[in-house]
Chain A
Amino acid sequence: MLSSLYPEVPLEEKQRLFDLVKADPRFEDYLYGCYECGICVAACPSARFYDFSPRKIAQALAREDIELVYEQMNDDIWNCSQCFSCVRCPRKNNPGGLITIMREVAVNNGLKTTKEALAGYTRIIYKIMTTGTQVSPDMLQEDAFPDWGPQVKEVATHLDLWRRALPPETLHTTGLSWQVEERTMLELYTIWKLTGVLDMIRELDEGLHDIMEEVMDDALEDQGFAID
């Protein structure tokens, strides 16, 4: 199927991105063809809510329909819930896993819709990559979670006190989920550096990347960590 949504993008670029998806070592484990039975769609929560289909993802990739794959990488993949209900597939396909790969390629290559999909999310990336814990108690703020009701305000109001009323010693924190040793945080950051994840962050948000690098590289140096 020809897509007319992105005619300004050269076919070669779409082919390049498709080739990157296909080159991922997991790709062959995640795609074996498609019966078009629709079991994955029936199990998919996102298909009930969005104009989204894991079956189409598997089919487009199997057919090597690079136009449609490019369209999906821009307009579909961020709707997936990553619950992996779709692995019920009788052909042992893993559409959720294919989407993980497509997302990685989308981030790595700075697709505009990816930046839009992840707008508002970057503070979470900063938290996880610099501290080793993803969500902290002090993120529970009324303005961030108005739909969770007045209990969020209760937590925010009493946060410090309520955290001290937790018996596990590691949980007496407000800015982290639990107490993490500094060395542990630096080891995690070292992993991001050595595996090219920081370069991905630069593609997504250069400002975020620069802040992380400035803060964490200084810490690495102070602690005598060498990354070569």
Chain B
Amino acid sequence: MNVEEIPVMPRGTKPETARSFVPDPEHAPDEDLREAIWELGREGEWIVQPVPEPYYEARTNYGRIKKIPFQKTWHHKSCGQCGHIPGYSTSIFWLNRFLGFDYFDPRDQTSCTAWNYYASATSNQVAQAAVAMRNFSAAYETGYYPLIHCGTSFGHYKEVRHELVHNHDLRRQVRDIITKLGRPFVMPEELVHYSEWMYAIRDELKSRLVYDLSHLTATVHPACHYYKLQSGDAIYDPEIYGGQRTAAVTAVVQSLGAKVADYSTWYDCCGFGFRHILVQRDFTRSFATLRKIEVMREEANPDVVLTHDTGCVTSLDKSQFAAQAHGRNVGVPVMSESQFAALAVGAHPFRVAQLHWHSTDYRPLLTKMGIDVDKAWAEFQEDLAKIERGSMPYLTWEAVL
């Protein structure tokens, strides 16, 4: 039999092994920084901003417990999400409002600038740490707690935190800069990614489902910078791949009732490359389609690809057009789990999920979910007409909830 004729059964998230992984904090490759952060706080090195109560307790890779705030969150937005795939951030905000949560969307926030740093290296260790601490300071001054939307921001800030805890000279240099800016020097107790918040609210969402998603299959791309950088501080769950892969995204999708199928190149990156996506996209296009989308299609044939980072949604979605032109086996819609979850609990596909900013055809997915795409698009066109006529300056939250 030809290899290509062998049927591949889509696998789920149960490991095909009798071995079990028992997490042990004592075996973590990195020390738990949080006690050191509090200790430095007691010594007056910085102010520690505690996670607001009530919080969710999630298990990380080696069994440590991480506090995830539900409310009073300060949304550290992502430049790529807000710029090119704005339904990503809009869905996160919408879910907060949907659940009646108190949150803050700041203007006193810069990008983490890590995209630029990983693309061009036109920065340095001190500058990158100062950018992070300026943003943490801005959050602290509002009384809200940082919730980081971008996987790269999250990973980079974890690196920065590690360096600041261990390097006294760096801490002094950065503190001098922040003081010069007239701001307090603040380290949050935990660094929290929005996908961890999604994990914490997954049962809340499950109880509010509007659509039956049990006939849908998703593949998940875990974002490199979420779990490969400072690997001990990412959420793992024994129910998901036996606790050997991050549970972010996958646990949420399963709670929503959809099936998550496995594929062999799950560890591969999306091909974003930071500078490549902007000035050398032949690499990005090839990697995103040949190593990710095509493999997913061949091994799992998903209805949708879900991920939890700016660059991953961009690379995996935008790269498919050129591959399609070459007749490759692509054509799977890509979005964040925040958009998918918002849709599942009744968010509008264009007013909230803003899927018209995405490239790969998402309409078959929406139809399969039970959403009337033509009706939804017509409603959105009416909104646009009102804005154009001036009878509505902007699409407001009141109009979408």
Contacting pair A165 B224 (CB below 8 A): no
Chain A stretch 163-200: residues in CB contact (< 8 A) with chain B: 163-172, 177-181, 183-185, 187-188, 190-192, 194-197, 200
Q: When the two chains form the complex, which single residue of A81, A124, A152 contacts B116, counting CB atoms closer than 8 Å?
A: A124
Q: Please classify the interface of chain A as helix (H, G, I), strand (E, B), loop, or mixed, using the class held by over half of its residues.
A: helix
State in angstroms the CA–CA spacing of A103 and B278 once bound together. Answer: 17
Known: A151-B358, A170-B107. A195 touches B90 (CB 8 A): no
Contacting pair A87 B229 (CB below 8 A): yes
Contacting pair A43 B107 (CB below 8 A): no
Known: A118-B275, A133-B82. A168 touches B111 (CB 8 A): no
- Segment of B35-43, B247-255, B380-388 in the binding face: B380-388
Contacting pair B105 A45 (CB below 8 A): no
State in angstroms the CA–CA spacing of A147 and B229 once bound together. Answer: 31
* Chain A contacts for B399, CB-based, 8 A: 167
Contacting pair B395 A197 (CB below 8 A): no
Contacting pair B224 A166 (CB below 8 A): no
Please classify how large the interface on chain A is, using the bins under 10, 10 to 19, 20 to 34, 35 or more. Answer: 35 or more
Contacting pair B395 A167 (CB below 8 A): yes
Q: When the two chains form the complex, which single residue of A100, A167, A170 contacts B396, counting CB atoms closer than 8 Å?
A: A167
Interface residue? B7 (CB, 8 A): no
State in angstroms the CA–CA spacing of A188 and B90 once bound together. Answer: 25
Smallest CB–CB gap between B333 and chain A, Å?
Answer: 12
Q: When the two chains form the complex, which single residue of A81, A185, A188 contacts B273, counting CB atoms closer than 8 Å?
A: A81
Chain B stretch 17-63: residues in CB contact (< 8 A) with chain A: 29
* Chain B contacts for A119, CB-based, 8 A: 279
Q: Which residue of A lies closest to B30 (CB)?
A: A92
Contacting pair B287 A167 (CB below 8 A): no
Contacting pair A161 B387 (CB below 8 A): yes
Q: When the two chains form the complex, which single residue of A46, A118, A158, A172 contacts B120, counting CB atoms closer than 8 Å?
A: A118
Chain A stretch 1-51: residues in CB contact (< 8 A) with chain B: 24-26, 43, 45-46, 48-50
Interface residue? B9 (CB, 8 A): no
Known: A84-B224, A128-B113, A135-B80. A161 touches B287 (CB 8 A): no
State in angstroms the CA–CA spacing of A199 and B383 once bound together. Answer: 48
* Chain B contacts for A134, CB-based, 8 A: 79-80, 83, 111, 113, 115-116
Which 4 pairs of residues, A with B, have the shortest CB-CB distance?
A149-B321, A132-B110, A103-B121, A83-B269
Given A167-B400, A187-B110, A188-B113, 7 more contacts at CB 8 Å? A104-B123, A107-B122, A137-B86, A161-B384, A177-B80, A177-B81, A187-B181
